[in-house]
């Protein structure tokens, strides 16, 4: 396994080419908004095991009821929080315990409260799935959740949580996490795994040309470059207060390995404390030894950044 490393101290409707300048999708506009309000509540216990208890939880965002699960370590004490953000799954077949459950479970066993939200239109969460490549509404849901966790930590359902919060995002979830982290300076750790790019022009082009065969993303990709720059987290990495860790397979067919290299170069340029790991031969979702190394590194990273 190779390691490329740097330590110096991311809802629109479909937009026409000129519409973006007046749209509240820009990073600056998001930064001016207030998030949170309402409470996270437990609906029921989903599972108890020797390491943690899994709950179905609910929280409000944008007038909708959002659902997901929360893993709480069984041992005594209070623990930092990691929000795990899933990648694209067909909303028609999505279930609460989706493929990213194993990452949330591994972190809970290691001593973190893990929150795994179901994005709007997925599982029990209300609303319609977002079609825009900017994933603005999804990011706002996570910003609401983070604000609720921060306000509610130490009480009620979050009695065991400390207001020390990190994000882990896979694929689409990594793109959402980048946007959240450049908007909310309270995020202390950002782990990107097989992530979408921080440059939303590249994301729109990939969605148009590769993911949907011209059905989505093409119109957004035709926005003028200055407008696209205002929505792209990569242009705001200088605002990050989080430490960052990037994991990417060199044979990823969905989000090219070159994207991770470009993200890491931008982090280095902006003097963001970061680590970047490459996984030779690995694809979009890690298996076997690559998965084990990812989890080992993720646990060490979050322990260092959040404690």
Question: For residue 276, what is the enclosing H or E element?
Answer: strand 273-279
Q: What percent of the chain has pLDDT over 70?
A: 92
Domain 3-306: state its class. alpha beta
Residues 242-280: pLDDT tens digits? 999 999 999 999 999 999 999 999 999 999 999 999 999
pTM recorded for the entire structure: 0.92
Confidence bin at 223 (pLDDT 50/70/90): confident
Q: Are 182 and 241 in contact (CB under 8 A)?
A: no
Residue 1, pLDDT score: 43
> 2 or 162: which carries more pLDDT confidence?
162
Residue 124, pLDDT score: 97
Confidence bin at 132 (pLDDT 50/70/90): confident
Q: In the predicted model, is pLDDT for residue 16 greater than 80?
A: no
Lowest mean pLDDT among 13-17, 208-212, 268-272: 13-17
Q: In the predicted model, is pLDDT for residue 281 greater than 70?
A: yes
Q: How far apart are CA 220 and CA 163, in angstroms?
A: 36
> 143 or 15: which carries more pLDDT confidence?
143
Q: Are 17 and 219 in contact (CB under 8 A)?
A: yes
Q: Hey, where are the domains in the chain?
A: 3-306
Mean pLDDT of 237-241: 98
CA distances from 294 to 5, 169, 277, 290 (A): 15, 13, 9, 6
Lowest mean pLDDT among 2-11, 91-100, 154-163, 187-196: 2-11
Mean pLDDT of 208-231: 86
Confidence bin at 14 (pLDDT 50/70/90): very low
Q: How far apart are CA 93 and CA 209, in angstroms?
A: 24
- Cα radius of gyration rounded to whole Å, the chain: 18
């Amino acid at each position: 396994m190779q390691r490329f490393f740097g330590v110096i101290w991311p809802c629109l409707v479909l937009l026409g080419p000129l519409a973006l300048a007046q749209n509240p999708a820009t990073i600056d506009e998001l930064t001016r908004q207030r998030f949170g309000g309402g409470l996270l509540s437990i609906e029921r216990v989903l599972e108890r095991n020797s390491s943690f208890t899994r709950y179905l939880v609910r929280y409000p965002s944008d007038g909708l009821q959002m659902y997901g699960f929360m893993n709480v370590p069984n041992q005594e004490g209070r623990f930092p929080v990691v929000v795990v953000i899933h990648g694209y799954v067909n909303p028609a077949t999505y279930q609460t315990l989706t493929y990213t459950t194993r990452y949330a479970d591994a972190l809970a066993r290691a001593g973190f409260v893990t929150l795994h939200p179901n994005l709007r239109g997925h599982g029990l969460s209300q609303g319609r799935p977002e079609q825009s490549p900017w994933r603005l509404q999804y990011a706002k849901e996570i910003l609401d959740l983070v604000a609720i966790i921060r306000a509610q930590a130490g009480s009620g359902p979050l009695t065991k949580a400390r207001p020390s919060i990190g994000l882990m995002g896979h694929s689409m979830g990594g793109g959402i996490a980048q946007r959240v982290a450049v908007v909310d300076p309270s995020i202390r750790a950002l782990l990107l795994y097989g992530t979408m790019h921080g440059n939303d022009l590249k994301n729109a082009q990939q969605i148009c040309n590769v993911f949907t065969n011209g059905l989505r993303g093409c119109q957004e990709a035709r926005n003028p470059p200055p407008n696209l720059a205002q929505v792209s987290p990569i242009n705001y990495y200088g605002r990050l207060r989080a430490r960052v860790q990037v994991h990417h397979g060199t044979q990823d067919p969905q989000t090219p390995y070159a994207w991770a290299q470009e993200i890491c170069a931008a982090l280095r340029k902006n003097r963001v404390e970061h680590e970047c790991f490459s996984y030779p031969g690995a694809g979009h979702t890690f298996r076997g030894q690559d998965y084990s190394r990812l989890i080992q590194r993720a646990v060490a990273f979050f322990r260092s950044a959040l404690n």
